[in-house]
Structure 1
């Protein structure tokens, strides 16, 4: 079975690098984006993703909710995970079928959400 392709959208550089390295070590093929604009460009490019993991709050006017909505539209087979320091109840409605993971989280928690999604 080929590795799962994952788009990781995180504006905090250190966290993005850490998570990318950890998921790559676990066999995921990870593409990263540091903001919503980069993420939407990746989603509309030639790559197809099995998972899209995006922070909700990001700079430059395109939020993780915008990224999730675009992913649902252009890559409907991708499984979506939103992460945020906000509680889910503090966020606007998230796209149906999207998983939510509160920050801070540990790699094993993210992995659990991803593996649960694959089952």
Structure 2
């Protein structure tokens, strides 16, 4: 039995771009839906079945960053962000809001197709029995990680700010507490977005998380390194 084609959603207020991209992706074998703004995007997402979103940054009324944040608050559907802007800050903001990749306009259709295939390949690489758990928050060693508000609260009740990458990585560690995860598994689980996935990226983010958690890097008690295997959150976690 042939598998159904993956379903992509193109969100762009430029009709010509929507039509062109939709035609090219359809020719490549994908099922494609298109939306001109956030209202149409949400209507399509509510029907379910979208495997990846190609989202323009410069949209009327609600911009792409706002929509990206909304999508990421309720799902892990991969997002590739498009923008005509060339400023590095736009790329950084997009990634921090949860975009999986970033492509400036104008772009080669073949490059977009390659990015889509790469992001989808990584999203399918979730290791067996490592699916995220359904919970609103997690408590461990006096700390609280709020999945809905996407922030961390220390034992004294103070909010500790986390970057988008730090939040994703900590959530993965929390949801799979006391299980050793290799760097490859952490990457496959989306701990570091594709556009950030440089050598030692996981190690760098682990180091930053330890600082936020007051976890002594010389002798960490919370996020431990298992030699030649990976990292583990060594704590009793209560999910709510």
TM-score (norm 1): 0.88
1:1-52 per-residue CA deviation (whole Å, 9 max, x = no partner) reads: 3211111001111111111111111111111001122112222x12221100
Superposed structure 1 runs of 4+ greater than 6 Å apart: none
Corresponding residue of 1:107: 109
Distance between the aligned counterparts of 2:36 and 2:100, measured in 1?
20
Q: Which of 27, 34, 37 does residue 39 from structure 2 map onto?
A: 37
Structure 2 unaligned spans of 5+ = 122-240
Q: Does 1:66 align with 2:74?
A: no
Structure 1 unaligned spans of 5+ = none
Report how far residue 105 of structure 1 moved: 0.6
Rate the CA distance shift 1:114–1:88 in 2: closer, same or farther, 3 A: farther
Report how far residue 97 of structure 1 moved: 5.0
Contact 2:69/2:98 (<8 A) preserved:
no
Rate the CA distance shift 1:40–1:103 in 2: closer, same or farther, 3 A: same
Q: Does 1:57 align with 2:58?
A: yes
Let me know the Cα RMSD of the aligned residues.
Answer: 1.6
Contact 2:10/2:32 (<8 A) preserved:
yes
Determine which structure has greater relative contact order: mean sequence separation of CA pairs < 8 Å that are 6+ residues apart, divided by chain length.
Answer: 1
Count of aligned residue pairs for this structure pair: 116
Task: Answer with 1 or 2: which has the greater Rg.
Answer: 2
Corresponding residue of 2:7: 5
Contact 1:88/1:100 (<8 A) preserved:
no
Corresponding residue of 2:86: 87
